[in-house]
Chains A and B, each alone.
Chain A
Amino acid sequence: MARHCGVMAAPLARRAADGARRVCSAAAQRPWKLFGAMCLLRLPRITQPLEKEEEEVAALMEQIELEKSHYSDHEIRKLEEEEQLRRKKESLYDEDEARGKTVIMAQDLEEKWEQKFLHFKAAPRITEADKSNDRKSLSRKLDSNLMLLVKQKIGNQDLWLLPQVEWQPGETLRSTAERAMAMFLGDHVQAKVLGNAPYGIYKYKFPRAIRTENNVGAKVFFFKAYLQSSDVPQTELKADYLWVTKKELGDYLKLEYLKKVNRFLLDL
């Protein structure tokens, strides 16, 4: 049972207007426990597929551009060479002239380029991790954001959450969140935290059994960070972890928690 008896007796200055909670004595306890949680995002590496309307309009735009354009040098060369070929077939006048001219024709060049393009094999957009639905790997779903979820013990339950850690007096909430991240991913994670302010909050009250006057519930403050390094070393701690997209969050998170988290995540 995780009964938190920590006394958060930090003599902090409060607003005088806040009459409900006043600093009575040095041993004033706040009824709410503070947690800092980090929402670590792996940003997309490839572009998202186009929607149907987008594709249609893209094709239309290309067509309009072609109609409004003039011939380029390459196209003029191609047309002239076609003319020459045609004239050669019809009459034999140009044979003597053609010998002095270039051997490579525009058509040959185009074919050469086409061959080169076909030879090149790009990396696949749908990776193996996608096919095997390996939710622990970072190379799954390259076109959307992936979030880190860890299994943590809260109270007497094991829950899937964004990595969180209790706030300790003397540090800002941002550093709490960074500590949470470091705890689960190791010290050498390169992440860019987006600002000092929290993005969201999840408030919950402890079940009546543990609730006391001084220990009503907990507030979890969420921070957002972007993962900079392309791969995270697999030296994760014993906790279970997952990298999931926003849509898959519903499979793991509790409803109320999910509602609060969804508010500060953009659709990707």
Chain B
Amino acid sequence: MLYPAINEVAEDGSKLITVIYEYKVTPESVSPHALCYFSSCSSWLPQRVPLRGSHWQSSLLEFRTSLPVRAQPKKKKKVDVKKEQAQKERMKKKLKKLEKAAPELIPIEDFITPLKYSESNRVRSLPALSPEESERRVLLLKKWCLFKQKQDEAEKKAIKALVESQQEALKELRLESEELYQAAVRRDEGLFPFERDGPTYTPPLPGYDPPEGKCIDITKVYTQ
């Protein structure tokens, strides 16, 4: 049996192979190539160094004297498969970690003032507020507060009256006939979504020809 031993790589790059043979190595069995190989290991000469295809190959000349190679591919497969699986799992773990991390927030462009607007030359120069003016402002805001409160109360009262009126009508309807009541209380599917264009300051001008033009939307769209 042949037992290959340590593969040593010498400093000058040439391979130094020592093979321990169980049987006696006779000078006849050692090939002349090996001899000159050993002799030239000290100096790097550009010779065609006959290297073995694999360390399983016992001699340089012979081609197929290798140990039983049936086990090799199987081992490779197992190891490879395992390695690949381990790699895949590592990748998945990394992906999960990335996904768990909070997504980058979309910047709100309205809240970020561009730097050019904070320059000093941009500051407006206006006369300071007089005490009468500030007094007037405060009093006006108080009046506004009252006005809005009254407006809100009136709205709420109107809505309450509306609801009461409807409840009364439904009560009377129920007294009349249950079937009509059920028909009235049913949800109206066609009502929502309800869309309407709000009022403008002036009514639409009949026969108005708007100027030609294209509206190009340049809003930035961010994706998560």
Q: Does B194 make an interface contact (CB < 8 A)?
A: yes
Cβ contact of B164, chosen from A13, A203, A263, cutoff 8 A = A263
Known: A56-B140, A57-B144, A203-B172. A44 touches B178 (CB 8 A): no
What's the nearest-Cβ distance from chain B to residue A218, in Å? 11
Chain A: interface secondary structure?
A: loop
- Name which residue of chain A comes closest to B177, CB basis: A12
A260 to B158: give the CA distance in the assembly, Å.
13
Known: A143-B199, A196-B185. A34 touches B176 (CB 8 A): yes
Known: A70-B123, A197-B185. A43 touches B144 (CB 8 A): no
Contact at B191–A194, with CB atoms within 8 Å? yes
Contact at B178–A122, with CB atoms within 8 Å? no
Q: Does B183 make an interface contact (CB < 8 A)?
A: yes
Chain B: interface secondary structure?
A: helix
Q: Does B188 make an interface contact (CB < 8 A)?
A: yes
* Chain A residues with CB below 8 A from B191, complex form: 192, 194-195
Q: Does A53 make an interface contact (CB < 8 A)?
A: yes
- Name which residue of chain B comes closest to A34, CB basis: B176
Q: Does B72 make an interface contact (CB < 8 A)?
A: no
Q: Does A132 make an interface contact (CB < 8 A)?
A: no
The stretch that binds A, out of B2-10, B56-64, B203-211, B214-222, is B203-211
What's the nearest-Cβ distance from chain A to residue B171, in Å? 9
Q: Does A18 make an interface contact (CB < 8 A)?
A: yes
Q: Does A111 make an interface contact (CB < 8 A)?
A: no
Contact at B201–A172, with CB atoms within 8 Å? no
* 0/1 string, B98-134, CB within 8 A of A gives 1: 0000000000000000000110011110100000000
Cβ contact of B176, chosen from A32, A53, A127, A260, cutoff 8 A = A32
* 0/1 string, A105-134, CB within 8 A of B gives 1: 000000000000000001111010000000
Contact at A123–B199, with CB atoms within 8 Å? no
Contact at A263–B161, with CB atoms within 8 Å? yes
Q: Does B74 make an interface contact (CB < 8 A)?
A: no
A260 to B179: give the CA distance in the assembly, Å.
24
Known: A125-B202, A125-B203, A174-B184. A219 touches B172 (CB 8 A): yes
- Looking at B162, B169, B172, the one whose CB has the most chain A CB atoms below 10 A away is B169
A41 to B99: give the CA distance in the assembly, Å.
55
- Name which residue of chain B comes closest to A221, CB basis: B169
A54 to B196: give the CA distance in the assembly, Å.
25
* 0/1 string, A184-203, CB within 8 A of B gives 1: 00000000111111111101
What's the nearest-Cβ distance from chain B to residue A54, in Å? 8
Q: Does B147 make an interface contact (CB < 8 A)?
A: yes
9 additional A-B residue pairs with CB within 8 Å, beyond A34-B176, A53-B143, A66-B124: A66-B126, A70-B122, A173-B173, A195-B191, A200-B168, A201-B165, A226-B196, A264-B166, A267-B158
